[in-house]
Amino acid sequence: MEIDILNKKENKVLDRTEVKFDCIYSGEATPKLLDVKSKLVALLDSKKDLIVVDSLQPHYGQTKASGYAKIYGSIESLENIETEHVLAKNKDAEVVEDAESEESE
């Protein structure tokens, strides 16, 4: 899987950097959102807790997907702005399982 950054824009009002990218995955299935997030963390030299992958849209008939991610300046900004369902889809599987086991107790 290869990620090409198309556009990187600073949004000072919302304390974040907005990134548009293409994900090329020849010979593979469409990558999972968390795999793309891990790759972006390494590529953009950021913390995993501060990145939110908002969307990943595959192109019909191609081994390519367009995506949109946001890198926040702080955890507080991220939690105040992002909706719960976007945060939920960006959490690791282990974190989700731990939270579910705590709720059931």
Number of independent structural domains in the chain: 1
Which residues span the domain enclosing 38?
Answer: 2-90
Answer whether 55's CB lies under 8 Å from 37's CB.
no
pLDDT at 96: 46
Residue 97 maps to a domain: no
Return d(Cα 64, Cα 31) in angstroms, integer. 10
pLDDT at 15: 93
> Residue 47 belongs to a domain with what CATH number?
3.30.70.330
> What are the DSSP calls for 30-50, one per residue?
PPPHHHHHHHHHHHHT--GGG
Q: What is the pLDDT of residues 82-101, one digit of tens each?
A: 999 889 988 875 554 444 55
Residue 101 maps to a domain: no
pLDDT at 26: 85
Residue 99 maps to a domain: no
Q: Say what the pTM is.
A: 0.80
Instruction: With a cut of 70, list the residues of the chain below it in pLDDT.
Output: 93-105
Residue 67 maps to a domain: yes
Helix (H) or strand (E) holding 84: helix 84-89
Residue 96 maps to a domain: no
Residue 83 maps to a domain: yes
